[in-house]
Amino acid sequence: VFKRFVEIGRVAFISFGPHAGKLVAIVDVIDQNRALVDGPCSGVRRQAMPFKCMQLTDFVLKFPHSARQKCVRLAWEKENINEKWAATRWAKKIEAREKKAKMTDFDRYKVMKAKKMRNRIIKHEMKKLQKMSSKKGKKPEKPEKSEKAQKSEKVQKAQKAQK
Amino acid sequence: MAGEKAAGEKKPGEKAAGKKKTGEKKPAEQKASQKEGGEKKKKIKKHHASRNPVLARGIGRYSRSAMYARKALYKRKYTAPETKIEKKKKEKPRATITKPVGGDKNGGSRVVKIRKMPRYYPTEDVPRKLLSHGKKPFCQHKRRLRASITPGTVLILLTGRHRGKRVVFLKQLGTGLLLVTGPLVINRVPLRRAHQKFVIATSTKVDISGVKIPKHLTDAYFKKKRLRKPKHQEGEIFDTEKEKYEITEQRKTDQKAVDSQILARIKKVPQLRGYLRSTFCLSNGVYPHKLVF
């Protein structure tokens, strides 16, 4: 049922508090509610932190309990946690949310136009397929779907560039 | 002896050198003083520190008369030079005027006083109002402008017939209202005044650095005109006031002059034209306090 456990070396994401949004590694467990935590590569000093504000990630580092910061840093850099984290969907969602919140009025307009264009293309292709299927009875045309996918990719790129 | 000689030599040498120096100094001084004088004319004279030491807050060491003497104000009496125009203006204003009078055997004209005596004196005089300070008339108020509004900013109008429209800000006028233009071809907003408080400033800016706005576009130009000559014929009072607003030719030419400059700059930014054409609206889940403009 549970896949991520609190263990020495577990990398956790801090969800609220003064260090919200940063990654830390669990170095030791103090008691039922707190852990000794250290984030040398993310700017978090070695400190006690309650489990409640930590959300466990998939990454585990290898170092002995109560290892000093240098060891934690070495393990962190060896595993390249920062890059791996940036590649996860979790981090990307966070980034997308931040970008959306920072959008100015002009950006919102540009996104609206891009979305409109994209949806129009998709609808156009859908209608085509529907027409085909209604006309020819039972012959679904699959090569047309790839065209639609290409066109929509172009629009997505435009959207991302504008963001 | 050698020492004395040397000393002796030094003195005449020094004196000669001194004389030379003084000789040289004079023309140099003159030049320096001329320069200073010239500079002083351009520079404001350095003000002396307060000649009235403070004993406690609000209390100076010297009285008014003592300060008068200390500041040598007896020497410093200035009057503004009287210009020729002011000299001419010393003519007294006319006291009476002769007006023609109709009717037969009436003499043709009467001499009428221009400033007449009051026709009514109230029984109680109006009491003298106490002095107030800091109550300035509107024309002297301080005009402020939000830091987010700079020339070229795209604003969203919130009130008026153009509510929701996105518009380019040009400059702040003398009364503090903002001069704003659509441009007209983009969203049908002409050169118009908008109130700062009823406007959202977006962070989108158009570069209006070289645009020249005609100087006659002031508040008086935009002010609404009201005709006020009803001859008290009750049926017709409402007709004489302007109901229909007519666009004058001058407004059209001014609009063209300003818009042509701005449109060129708008075309440079991709999608800005479409942005200015669109209107702002809120929909479900959109909260103004959470939006970044």
Report pLDDT for B28: 46
The residues facing B100 across adjacent strands are B109
Q: Which of A99, A103, A105 to mutate to test the interface with B (most CBs of B within 10 A)?
A: A105
pLDDT band at A136 (very low <50, low <70, confident <90, very high): confident
Give me the CATH topology for the region A10-87: SH3 type barrels. (2.30.30)
Q: How many CA atoms lie within 13 A of A160 on its CB side?
A: 9
Please tell me the distance from the alpha carbon of residue A48 to that of residue A26, in angstroms, as a whole number.
10
The model's confidence at residue A140, banded by pLDDT at 50, 70 and 90, is low
CB contact under 8 A, B275 and A109: yes
Q: Are residues A105 and B274, on separate chains, in Cβ contact within 8 Å? A: no
The beta strands (E) that lie in B173-282 are given as 178-181, 192-194, 199-205
User: Taking CB atoms and an 8 Å cutoff, what residues of chain A touch B166?
Assistant: 105
Whether B13 shows a pLDDT value over 80: the answer reads no
Amino acid at B17: A
Q: Assess A161–B contact: CB distance below 8 Å, yes or no.
A: no
- The pLDDT assigned to B232 comes to 61
Q: Which of residues 28-87 of A touch B (CB under 8 A)?
A: none
pLDDT of res. B5: 47
Number of domains in chain B: 1
What's the pLDDT band for B42 if we cut at 50, 70, 90? low
Position B21 confidence tier, pLDDT thresholds 50, 70, 90: very low
Given pLDDT bands bounded at 50, 70 and 90, which one contains residue A77? very high
| B52 in A contact zone (CB under 8 Å) | no
**Statement: residue B82 has pLDDT above 80:** no
CB contacts < 8 Å between A and B, how many?
Answer: 33
Q: Chain A residue with minimal CA distance to B272?
A: A106
Averaged pLDDT, A114-130 = 96
Query: Which pTM value belongs to this model?
Result: 0.66
* Separation CA B228–CA B225 (nearest Å): 10
Query: Which domain does B216 fall in, by range?
Result: 153-224+248-279
Looking at residue B18, its pLDDT comes to 43
Task: Spell out a b/e string for A81-106, using b for 16 or more CB atoms within 10 Å of the CB, else e.
Answer: beeebeeeeebeeeeeeeeeeebebb
Residue B57 has pLDDT above 90, yes or no: yes
The domain spans of chain A are: 10-87, 91-132
Q: Which of B271, B274, B293 sits opposite A105 (nearest CB)?
A: B293
Q: Does residue B210 lie in a domain region?
A: yes
Q: Which residue of B has its CA nearest to A110?
A: B271
Nearest CA in chain A to B279: A109
Q: Does residue B261 lie in a domain region?
A: yes
Mutate to test the interface with A, among B165, B167, B275 (most CBs of A within 10 A): B275
Q: What is the ipTM of this complex?
A: 0.74
Model confidence pLDDT, tens digit, residues B117-157: 999 888 888 888 888 898 999 999 999 999 999 999 999 99
Position B260 scores a pLDDT of 93
Question: Any chain B CB within 8 A of the CB of A109?
Answer: yes
Are the beta carbons of A105 and B291 separated by less than 8 Å?
A: yes
Read off the pLDDT band of B16 (50, 70, 90): very low
CA angle, B2 then B5 then B8, to 5°: 150
pLDDT digits (tens, 9 = 90+) for A27-49: 999 999 999 999 999 999 999 99
The two three-digit tokens of residue B85, written as one number = 């125009």
Question: What residues of chain A lie within 8 A of the CB of B201, using their CB?
Answer: none
Section A15-22 average pLDDT: 95
pLDDT tops 90 at residue A154: no
CA distance B260 to chain A (A): 23
Mind telling me how many Å the CA of A100 is from chain B's nearest CA? 10
- A3-17, A108-122, B41-55, B202-216: least confidently modelled range: B41-55
Instruction: Please check whether residue A113 touches B, CB under 8 A.
Output: yes
Tokens for A26, please give them. 């669990």
Query: Are the beta carbons of B202 and A105 separated by less than 8 Å?
Result: yes
Does some domain include residue B148? no
Q: What is the pLDDT of residue B278?
A: 94
State pLDDT tens for residues B251-287. 999 999 999 999 999 999 999 999 999 999 999 999 9
Mean pLDDT score of chain A:
88
From the list A63, A20, A57, A60, the residue with the least C-alpha distance to A42 is: A20
In whole angstroms, what is the distance from residue B259 CA to residue B22 CA?
68
User: CA Rg, chain A, in Å?
Assistant: 24
Model pLDDT for residues B103-117, shown as the tens digit of each residue = 888 888 899 999 999
Whether residue B80 has pLDDT greater than 70: yes
Contacts of A102 in chain B (CB under 8 A): 292
Considering only CB atoms, B202 lies closest to which of A101, A104, A113, namely: A104
Instruction: Return d(Cα B274, Cα B262) in angstroms, integer.
Output: 15
pLDDT score, position A153: 57
**Which candidate from B154, B204, B274 shows the least CB-CB separation from A113?**
B274
**pLDDT attached to residue B252:** 94
